[in-house]
């Protein structure tokens, strides 16, 4: 992730929403942010802060723009005694980090209470399972506010030119569609060789489609490592490597460094990329006017235990630090940010997918939202291992997969190394 509001003004919307009673004394909330200050998302947050302060004259909000390493920066600040009231970070990282360490306040009572607009429980604002995914041992310490769906994003015109007029729903039809695209003289799939967390999504989805949504976590938590010898692992490896063998991933991709591959999508040289729904925003200034984005769900595998309506996401959440002296005001501001008018501003102005399920997404990412609307299960990053075992997720799972995916080690080497590294991981815990 790098890089028309409602017809009534947000001030009017604020007056219509029901937020908690706030202290009468002057309060300063300190918010440490995952945004970099020039980003569109930061600009939306700034505007929301200004509107909130205007509606609550007794409250000021001081924002510190730290970027994506915000959680690490917050940890260091807390260790030195710096007061912080609110922070945000990626949901899975926060679950395994500050939430797991007991540094955030729970939201149990608030989620069971009324939503900011007074219609039903607060928890019902969000996509199904999103709150459950963010919880630690059944207790939610964070409130999601934006998310990206991992879909196969594609140039709809290039697919139509190849005679593919509907998104394929099983793997064999998907490969056949890519072969048709390749036959027109354009590359089928874009791969950034140096972005392991992009490339592992192929393996995540194939394992899920073959062996079900619980398989990956089961393999990681098998202290013997032997689950990595399951035939489903080898089948998933062979299926993704077949894309290279067929030339559906161009050979030069082995040398691509981000953002080289996605630039070929923007220039109409490559038809598709498996990536988060931030891609149309990243490429907005590069694609030609009228570029038509499509987003297809990752296809099913015939006879597999997974489901095409299981969608992996990358979500981001707010938390209230347990040391805050302004708990009521901090909670109130977060409720304001996830209310429909505020979330619509994120969707329209920053073109970001949002956690409030009632909000329409921008046209560039509307097809990605459709996959969430149709989802029967929303999967966290790397199907839970990023939150529970972040070092393993990055340094073992993603790193070794990338070597296998790029042909630097064989499937046999990958499996043996996953067995031994998993044993080693658990032996050292």
Task: List, for residues 273-298, the tens digit of each pLDDT value.
Answer: 999 999 998 999 999 999 999 999 99
Q: What ranges do the domains of the chain cover?
A: 2-147+315-381, 149-312+382-428
Structural element, H or E, at residue 52:
helix 40-55
> What pLDDT is stored for residue 129 in this prediction?
87
Task: Average the pLDDT over 106-113 and give the result.
Answer: 95
CATH of 2-147+315-381, one of 3.40.190.10, 3.40.50.410, 3.40.50.720, 3.20.20.190: 3.40.190.10
State percent of the chain over pLDDT 90: 91
pLDDT at 80 over 90: yes
Task: Average the pLDDT over 179-192 and give the result.
Answer: 98
Closest CA to 47 of 342, 278, 281: 342
Task: Name the CATH superfamily, with its identifier, for domain 149-312+382-428.
Answer: Periplasmic binding protein-like II (3.40.190.10)
Task: List, for residues 232-270, the tens digit of each pLDDT value.
Answer: 999 999 999 999 999 999 999 999 999 999 999 999 999
Q: Are both 2-147+315-381 and 149-312+382-428 of the same fold? A: yes
- Asked if residue 129 lies in contact with residue 86, where contact means CB atoms within 8 angstroms, the answer is no
pLDDT at 94 over 70: yes
Q: What is the DSSP string of 291-335?
A: --EEEEPPPB-TT-SS-TTEEEEEEEEEEEBTT-S-HHHHHHHHH
Task: Average the pLDDT over 412-423 and give the result.
Answer: 98
Task: List, for residues 307-329, the tens digit of each pLDDT value.
Answer: 999 999 999 999 999 999 999 99
Which band of pLDDT confidence, cut at 50, 70 and 90, is reported for residue 13? Answer: very low
Task: Average the pLDDT over 398-417 and give the result.
Answer: 98
- Asked if residue 95 lies in contact with residue 387, where contact means CB atoms within 8 angstroms, the answer is yes
Which band of pLDDT confidence, cut at 50, 70 and 90, is reported for residue 24? Answer: low
pTM of the predicted model as reported, rounded to 2 decimal places: 0.90
Angle (nearest 5°) at CA 351 between 315 and 288: 125
Number of C-alpha atoms within 13 angstroms, CB side, residue 203?
25
Task: List, for residues 135-170, the tens digit of each pLDDT value.
Answer: 999 999 999 999 999 999 999 999 999 999 999 999
- Asked if residue 217 lies in contact with residue 422, where contact means CB atoms within 8 angstroms, the answer is no
> What pLDDT is stored for residue 116 in this prediction?
86
């Amino acid at each position: 992730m790098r890089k028309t509001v409602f017809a009534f003004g947000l001030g009017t919307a604020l007056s219509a929403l029901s937020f908690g009673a706030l202290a009468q004394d002057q309060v300063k909330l300190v918010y440490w942010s995952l945004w970099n200050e020039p980003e569109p998302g930061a600009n939306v947050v700034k505007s929301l802060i200004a509107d909130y302060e205007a509606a609550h004259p007794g409250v000021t909000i001081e924002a510190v723009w730290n970027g994506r390493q915000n959680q690490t920066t917050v940890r260091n600040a807390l260790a030195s005694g710096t007061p912080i009231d609110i922070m945000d970070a990626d949901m899975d990282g926060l679950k395994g980090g500050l939430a797991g360490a007991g540094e955030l306040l729970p939201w149990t009572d608030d989620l069971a209470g009324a939503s900011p607009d007074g219609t039903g429980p607060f928890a019902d604002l969000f996509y199904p399972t999103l709150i459950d995914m963010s919880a630690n041992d059944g207790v939610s310490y964070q409130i999601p506010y934006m998310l990206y769906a991992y879909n196969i994003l594609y140039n709809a015109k290039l697919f139509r030119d190849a005679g593919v007029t509907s998104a394929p729903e099983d793997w064999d039809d998907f490969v056949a569609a890519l072969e048709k695209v390749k036959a027109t003289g354009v590359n089928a799939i874009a791969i950034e060789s140096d972005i392991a967390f992009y490339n592992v999504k192929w393996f995540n989805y194939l394992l899920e489609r073959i062996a079900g949504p619980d398989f990956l976590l089961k393999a990681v938590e098998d202290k013997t490592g032997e689950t990595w010898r399951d035939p489903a692992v080898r089948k998933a490896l062979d299926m993704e490597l077949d894309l290279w063998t067929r030339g559906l991933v161009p050979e030069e991709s082995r040398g691509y460094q981000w953002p080289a591959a996605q630039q070929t999508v923007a220039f109409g040289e490559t038809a598709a990329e498996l990536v988060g729904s931030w891609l149309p925003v990243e490429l907005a200034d590069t694609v030609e006017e009228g570029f038509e984005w499509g987003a297809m769900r990752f296809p099913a595998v015939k006879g597999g235990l997974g489901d095409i309506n299981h969608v992996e996401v990358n979500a981001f959440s707010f938390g209230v630090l347990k040391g805050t002296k302004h708990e009521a005001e901090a909670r109130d501001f977060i409720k304001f940010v996830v209310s429909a008018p505020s979330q619509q501003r994120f969707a329209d102005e920053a073109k970001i997918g949002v956690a409030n399920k009632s909000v329409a997404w921008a046209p560039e990412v509307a097809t990605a939202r459709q996959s969430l609307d149709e989802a029967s299960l929303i999967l966290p990053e790397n199907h839970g291992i990023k939150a529970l075992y972040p070092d393993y997720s990055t340094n073992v799972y993603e790193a070794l997969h990338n070597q296998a995916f790029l042909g630097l080690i064989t499937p046999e080497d990958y499996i043996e190394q996953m067995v031994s590294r998993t044993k080693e991981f658990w032996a050292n815990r």
